[in-house]
Chains A and B, each alone.
Chain A
Amino acid sequence: MGSNAAANHPISMKWVQKAKDNGGILISVDPRYTQTSTKADIYAPLRSGTDIPFLGGMIKYILDNEKYFKDYVVNYTNASFIVGPKFDFQDGLFAGYDPKTRSYDKTFWAFEREQDDRVKRDDTLQDPRCVYQLLKKHYSRYTPELVSSITGTPVPDLLKVYEAYASTGTKDKAGTIMYAMGWTQHTVGVQNIRTMCMIQLLLGNMGIAGGGVNALRGEANVQGSTDQGLLFHILPGYLAYPRANQANMEAYLKAITPKTAEPMSANWPQNLPKYFVSLMKTFWGDKATKENDFGYGWLPKLDAGQNCSWLNLFDAMYEGKIKGFFAWGQNPACSGANAHKVRQALGKLDWLVNLNIFDNETGSFWKGPGIDPKKIKTEVFMLPCAASVEKEGSISNSGRWAQWRYKAVDAPGMAKPDGDILVELFDKIRALYKKDGKFPEPILNLKWDYVDAKGHFDPHNVAKEINGYFLKDVKIGETEYKKGTPVPGFALLQADGSTSSGNWIYSQSYNAAGNNMARRKKDDPTGLGLYPEWSWAWPVNRRIIYNRASTDLNGQPWNPKRALLKWEEGKEVDGKKQPGKWVGDIPDGPWPPMSDTKAGRYPFIMKPDGLASIFGPGLVDGPFPEHYEPLECPVPKNALSSQFTNPTIKIFSGSMDKHLTCDPRFPFVGTTYRVTEHWQTGIMTRWQPWLIEAQPQMFVEMSEELAKLRGIKNGEKVKVSSVRGELEAVAIVTTRFRPFKIGDVTVHEVGMPWCFGWMTPKNGGESVNLLTPNVGDPNTMIPESKAFMVNVTKMEGGA
């Protein structure tokens, strides 16, 4: 659900098939019967944008039928936490909503605390204000009949899915979810995923082998690029980006370092100051000292609440506020929602630097369809770069495995690895700032020695800096470490400037043992497919995060047949009991199990209170997921409440920001997806004869019923349009889309791939993002590319 792994993460199906061979059941929930659905034991259709009702109904089912794993829920989640009396939920809105600012005052959702500041709990789960009871109340409205009338899923199909999946709430069964953009690309995207997290927690499926909430990442190294902080709101290692009202490092560290009154919570984020200071030492080297706040002042600051994410970025560009732009290995002219706005925005730039291995619609936007080059003043630099096999370095997959890869040949012609390009570019910039310029300090003080003896970019050099070093001789515990040696891992990073690390979560990846990312050992001691010595996973090679939750309070695996982790008591030696230890995967910290109420720790070590959140008071749109319709939807109201759409989303209102909901001009739900043969905007794959042969043209899949309605024959060219744009596509008339019965209304849905663009091949078709809306999830601002409204007509303009 929320993904189509067979099409878009094809080799993952090797392991799904193996699970099926071992008796596993595959459930596919998708608006369309997909490649994954063909292998599923259970398929259920649902209208795009209605995942929360679907999953909310499952929560109700799990609670009503007592399918949850009680010991797990009571001990490892915040189900027992008492929520303060200010919390309420009425008719689609949580308490604390301000319609003027379209935001919530989250203090209304705060937990009730004891005198010592620990959260009040009721482990019997009876208190009417405990999370469990509030959860039950919240989802009591999500009856199968009401859910079915929203999602269009027939009630028997809902119950089939609920029954099958809820059966994994026992100790000996595991259930996992593979999700992707089918969940993220919605104005309720984060809450979609949250609902599933809550289900997994209720069923005891987090932290166990075969469990988890598994994001199928979309690009080879999007995991790595996120880890390394290439987003406005985070520094490497997910440290929150500093804000202007955090005037010095102390204020910043205070703001980002959580405290807990819970004695059994590890509250690992209490160590964040060590990681930030170590990061600053990697940024500025010797120039970062205690006296200058380790260079904190050299980092540019965001205003409190300032959001520089993608949709805002292109809005600012469209408004002419952005003059220079690096589109570095990305093709926003085809990947950006509301792509006409993106393409117009590019024309407002003074200069654009585009790096890629092939020509693309972004670097060549100035000669795109409907654009008169004479009117475009933008200077464009197109820099040819190396393909994946023409350079050396690591990339991190969906499982957090950072895998090293090697150079087979040089890049062709003048093309260079991006590492070389960025080193040379910044060298030139620094040379200019050596002479003069505004606020040159951060530019000149940045540690910038990532080259080998010959002056070429050296990925090994960088990898070791990311791992981290001791910057002076130190003694930690009983062990002495020499200046210049790699830190073994992040547990040894310090907040006093004596260590450096470019990214604490990657610390250990390249230490004294060598390049752990390049390992190729196939041993699998647990037999669970962890392969602990194949490459290296963050953090500290832990293969399954929160694995302490896979054991009971005594540290014994819930399921001894799939023992991920097990506590072994120490033996008695000379009358003294030796310390116990965990065997299996790398444990989430060495502390003993929870039954040791002094030294034991709760399993969710990155949560300040050590327990997982069924009630999540930190998101901007509510502590419990609630159904709201997509911004553009086919129905006049939300069947669950008077709150039509997510009340906290930002709605752009410029001339290019059109949207139109429940309107007869655009009567069909449109969705977008990928195909196996192409990748993302297609700018790598559309240039490949074998792949374009296999999937040559833009198409739109529609039901036989819709085709009949519009008089469309299979294989004929049709026009698909939204209020933002239109394009031509070949009609694929199929049984795999069926009309949905939504209440009394028949709703048709169509789907299109987003892998085409005007550049190549000729007659290949345009990007579906010309149709999609630039509205995003309020927590992440990921655009709602999965549910919007379109029209489909024959090319002659009939019907």
Chain B
Amino acid sequence: MSEGYSILVDTSKCTACRGCQIACKQWNGLPGTQTKNEGTYENPVDLSADTWKILRYSEGTVPSGAPFWYFFSEQCRHCLSPGCMAESEKGEIVQDEKTGAVLFTLKTKSLNYDATREGCPYDIPRQNPKTKELFKCTMCFDRITNNMIPACVKSCPTGAMVFGERPEILDAAKARVQELSKKYPNAKAINPDEVRVIYIVTDDPKKYWKFAAGK
């Protein structure tokens, strides 16, 4: 347990059932916000203080001319060296040693939001405009310290999301990429040595989301 936890997000198995997006709302009691259809299934169209887990959809055509529709179920990467913490000098943002979870506390309201957000390679932190506090995925800290798995992971039907101890997840990522490479030569795990939430993709990460592999 010394290396903490990790989450594997294998986009090749994601069916966009949106269980994860809703499960996060349900567990954390986050409100549903007002949205409109912007020409996509994606909604909300961005993370916010009220949306910590979001299904990003992207579509186009592959070289053969066939369509593609990629699903990228985004959340905070819980980096090993969190860029957001550069601004945090008084414990506004903490990193739990045991689990590795990176947590925004109430004190984040006193941080420079723009700088904090700028410091995150994945553009994750979001601010509540009224209270000025910052919000993001908590790795379901309360659940994982109570013998439960994160709500999003539990919700996932196809095993696209898996939660476990970091060494096992890293091994699983490696094995899956190897398997996928037979059919998808560009398959890769995104920055596995830097993040705890490791995404596996079968194509250029930018095709999924502009910041999928970092800014």
- Which of A's residues lie within 8 Å of B, judged by CB? 6-7, 10-11, 13-14, 17, 33, 35-39, 43, 675-677, 688-699, 713-716, 730-736, 738, 763
Contact = CB atoms under 8 A, between A and B. Distances in A.
A698 B18 CA distance: 18
B59 A17 contact: no
Interface string B1-34: 0000000000001011111011001100001111
A14 B35 CA distance: 30
A334 to B, nearest CB: 18
Contacts of A17: 13, 157-159
Given A14-B157, A38-B71, A692-B32, A732 B15 contact: no
A38 B33 CA distance: 28
Given A35-B16, A695-B43, A736-B67, A11 B37 contact: no
A33 B34 CA distance: 28
Contacts of B70: 38
A714 B31 CA distance: 28
A13 B157 contact: yes
B46 to A, nearest CB: 12
B63 interface: no
B41 interface: yes
A156 to B, nearest CB: 12
Contacts of B41: 675, 695, 732
- Closest CB pairs A-B (n = 9): A689-B32, A715-B39, A693-B32, A10-B17, A714-B39, A6-B15, A697-B37, A735-B67, A14-B157
A462 to B, nearest CB: 33
A695 B42 CA distance: 8
B90 interface: no
Contacts of A33: 67, 69
A673 to B, nearest CB: 12
Q: Name B's interface SS.
A: loop
Interface string B65-96: 01111110000000000000000000000000
A690 B36 contact: no
Contacts of B61: 735
A10 B157 contact: yes
A698 B37 CA distance: 8
B15 A694 contact: no
A384 to B, nearest CB: 23
B44 interface: yes
Contacts of A38: 15-16, 68-71
Contact of B31 (A689, A696, A697): A689
A10 B32 contact: no
A735 B38 contact: no
A691 B22 contact: yes
17 contacts: A6-B15, A10-B17, A11-B17, A14-B157, A17-B13, A43-B66, A689-B31, A694-B32, A694-B43, A695-B43, A696-B34, A696-B43, A697-B36, A713-B39, A730-B36, A730-B39, A735-B68
B191 to A, nearest CB: 24
Contacts of A734: 59, 67
Nearest to B179: A21
B37 A690 contact: no
B15 A693 contact: no
Contacts of A39: 13, 15
A690 B17 contact: no
B60 interface: yes
Contacts, number: 110
A675 B44 CA distance: 16
Interface residues of B, number: 35
A407 B32 CA distance: 27
A6 B36 CA distance: 23
A66 to B, nearest CB: 31
Contacts of B59: 734-736
A120 B36 CA distance: 65
Contacts of B37: 695-699, 715, 730, 732
A36 B31 contact: no
A376 to B, nearest CB: 32
A690 B69 contact: no
Given A14-B157, A736-B69, A36 B22 contact: no
B34 to A, nearest CB: 8
Given A38-B15, A695-B41, A690 B157 contact: no
B40 interface: yes
Contacts of A14: 157-159
B15 to A, nearest CB: 4
A38 B21 CA distance: 19
A734 B58 CA distance: 10
A35 B36 contact: no
Contacts of A35: 15-17, 69
Contacts of B66: 43
A694 B22 contact: yes
Contacts of A715: 37-40
A675 to B, nearest CB: 7
In this complex, the member of B17, B25, B61, B70 whose beta carbon has the largest number of chain A beta carbons within 10 angstroms is B17
Given A6-B16, A35-B15, A734-B59, A693 B44 contact: yes
A249 B47 CA distance: 67
Given A38-B71, A696-B43, A735-B59, A677 B38 contact: no
Given A14-B157, A33-B67, A690-B32, A732 B17 contact: no
Interface string B173-193: 000000000000000000000
A36 B14 CA distance: 10
Nearest to A704: B61
Nearest to A699: B37
Given A38-B15, A677-B18, A693-B32, A733 B67 contact: no
A5 to B, nearest CB: 9
A735 B60 contact: yes
Given A17-B159, A732-B39, A732-B40, 18 more contacts: A6-B15, A14-B157, A35-B15, A675-B41, A689-B31, A690-B26, A690-B32, A691-B22, A695-B43, A696-B35, A697-B36, A697-B37, A698-B37, A699-B37, A714-B40, A715-B40, A730-B36, A730-B38
